[in-house]
Amino acid sequence: MISIKSEREIELLRIAGNVVYQTHCYLKPFVKAGITTKELDKLAEDFIRSRGCTPSFKGYEGFPSTLCTSINSEVVHGIPDNRKLKNGDIISIDIGACYKGYHGDSAWTYAVGEISDDAKYIMEHTEKSLFVGLKEIKPGAHIGDIGAAIEEYAEAHNLGVVKELVGHGVGTNVHEEPDVPNYGERGTGPILKEGMVIAVEPMLTLGSPEIVIWDNDWTIETEDYSLSAHYEHTVAVTKDGYKILTGGLNGKE
């Protein structure tokens, strides 16, 4: 069942989402050569708790950390550790925060110092593919419309779509129904209704879209070690479109 959120629930989801957005803004200046992902994780956890929230991912199905930090060819679910970021790296940071039982979920990929043209390309077009997907959202549209738009955009830019991982509904659980794939066919899948809240999160690759899972059972990496980027917003379906919940409070981001 896909739940329809009340106005009050959407307000709580927006507060949680805004804390996720603020955490991204807070972390960004720290994403530099020399910092470890564990240090970023501590900064994020302290910040989220200082805002009256709890980290959504810590303890979720046994995940050990506040952030998912995925470097270069790592796609998602990287566990913060003692590795230092290096000039030229790209790092996808996925953040979840819970406010009064309601979650926000948003990922962004960051450049560490000067990055290659390939890295710039995968970042730019994965971010654009997120907004191409979001544009499809309105009451009466199908979930498949979102994935089809992202897949078409990725194919037009010669990028791979990771298919094993998908977006999802968001509410009192960080992962709810429905699945929101980054591929699909228009006119298929559940129909969107006002009050649904979903996270759209394209994960694109510069090479093969095939993935492998590390022995830690979490970190997912491209099979051919090609670069990957990940951008995600949690959004509410509105009367005539969608509203980003994991942005600033003026709703413009």
Whose CA is closest to 202, among 243, 169, 233? 233
Which of positions 185-224 make contact with Mg ion (CB under 5 A)?
199
Looking at the Cβ atoms of 98 and 187, the one nearer to Mg ion is 98
Closest CA to 107 of 81, 77, 80, 83: 77
Number of CB atoms found within 10 A of residue 49's CB: 13
In the bound state with Mg ion, the residue whose beta carbon lies nearer, of 17 and 144, is 17
- Asked if 176 touches Mg ion (CB under 5 A), the answer is no
Q: Rule CB under 5 A: choose which of 45, 74, 94, 145 binds Mg ion.
A: 94
Q: Which residues contact 46 (CB under 8 A, 6 or more apart)?
A: none
- Min CB(195)–Mg ion separation in Å: 19
Nearer CB in complex with Mg ion: 118/219: 219
Secondary structure of residue 43 in the 3-state scheme:
helix
Least distance from C-beta 158 to Mg ion, angstroms?
A: 25
Report, in Å, the least distance between residue 199 CB and Mg ion: 4
Q: How far separated are the first and last CA of the chain, in Å rounded?
A: 30
- Mark 97-116 with x for binding to Mg ion (rule: CB under 5 A) and - for no binding: --------x-x---------
In terms of CB distance, is 94 or 145 closer to Mg ion? 94
What's the token pair of residue 110? 């960051």
Tell me how far, at minimum, the Cβ of 246 lies from Mg ion, in Å: 9
Show the CA angle centred on residue 26, arms to residues 174 and 118, nearest 5°: 85
Q: Is residue 179 classed exposed, middle or buried when 0-12, 13-18 and 19+ CB atoms within 10 A define those classes?
A: middle
Least Å from the CB of residue 219 to Mg ion = 15
Question: Which residues of the shown chain bind Mg ion in the complex (CB under 5 A)?
Answer: 94, 105, 107, 199, 232
